[in-house]
Amino acid sequence: MRYSDIDLNSKTILITGGAGFIGSNLAFYFEEHYPQAKVVVLDLFRSNLTLSNGNLKSFGHFKNLIGFTGEVISGDINDQVLLAKLASGYKFDYIFHEAAISDTTALEQGLMIQTNVNAFKDLLDMAVAHGANMIYASSGATYGDAPSPQRVGREAPQNVYGFSKLMMDHLARDYAQKFKNISIVGLRYFNVYGPHEFFKNKTASMVVQFGHQLLSGKNPKLFENSDKILRDFIYIEDIVQANVLAMHPKESGVFNVGTGKARSFQSMVDILQHELGTAYPCEYIPNPYIGRYQFHTEADIQSTTEVLGYAPRFEFEDGIRAYAPEIKRLFEEELS
């Protein structure tokens, strides 16, 4: 579905983190709906480099871009030489900044701030110089344990990732006040799921992880009282919608992107069982994260609707139903 009538013919779009989950979905959206636009993907791409927690440093994967015909650049947003080449070699009209260290359990605070905050400032400088509207990934992690519904202005990050995203939001506000020639929009994603997340490995959504447990014939393992552990789960197509609408907002700002409805992990498994045709009994295990675990997230999306015109299209049942064929394909082609 096309979410905007803006004319992007002859426009140039940069997508950082474009081989990742959200970035690759954006790349294909623009290529499908605006074939005359020039789409440039920048991504570090995955390697064997890991963080101290054992997770990969970069989740970008070439398979997320199979079928994409735009330009692909491999590089690190911390590389000043690369950014200088981008700044001088292109004239961007829009920058979608999805690149980040997005692992909420990462312990490397300096690397997190350098990559998520300092490099963002360099990209903001490029946006100002090019006159390019900036749309960037903030995060629901900025709220930490703040009570639901989570609202902009009530942040309480509990890890360095959430802190880095909040610092990005402060930086974006400063730039938006100083430079009126562009719009700058931060989108606080809540619990996103959908195609192209598989290569995030253990940090992929529990939708695909539970889906593959079920397809392998295993009983789904849930924390005790999972019917009372609630999250605002949002399907990737609604994330794409919000990004496209943020290209020409009524005003710059930071906005929540969720459904505005909290759903339980129990309901996730129940819907998956229905869509995948399984009926395995759930196993319930003690929750080892009590005291440092969010039991309820729910995005307040009033300002997102008013300023961006955003309206979520996918209920949890709709999103999982749309995702089920891809979950099956991944199981057959990547895991079997």
Q: Which of 161, 189, 193, 235 is catalytic?
A: 161
Cα–Cα distance measured from residue 13 to residue 197, given in angstroms and rounded to the nearest whole number: 22
**Half-sphere exposure at residue 67, Cβ-oriented, CA atoms within 13 angstroms:** 11
218 a catalytic residue: no
Cα dihedral 70, 76, 77, 83 sign = negative
Cα–Cα distance measured from residue 140 to residue 162, given in angstroms and rounded to the nearest whole number: 8
161 a catalytic residue: yes
Strand bridging mode 253-257 / 184-189: parallel
Helices (H), 255-315: 265-276, 302-303
Per the structure block, which two tokens stand in for 139? Answer: 């995060």
Cα–Cα distance measured from residue 51 to residue 107, given in angstroms and rounded to the nearest whole number: 8
Q: Which of 175, 189, 200, 235 is catalytic?
A: 200
Q: Taking a C-beta distance cutoff of 8 angstroms, is the pair 300, 310 a contact?
A: no
Residues marked active site are found at 161, 200
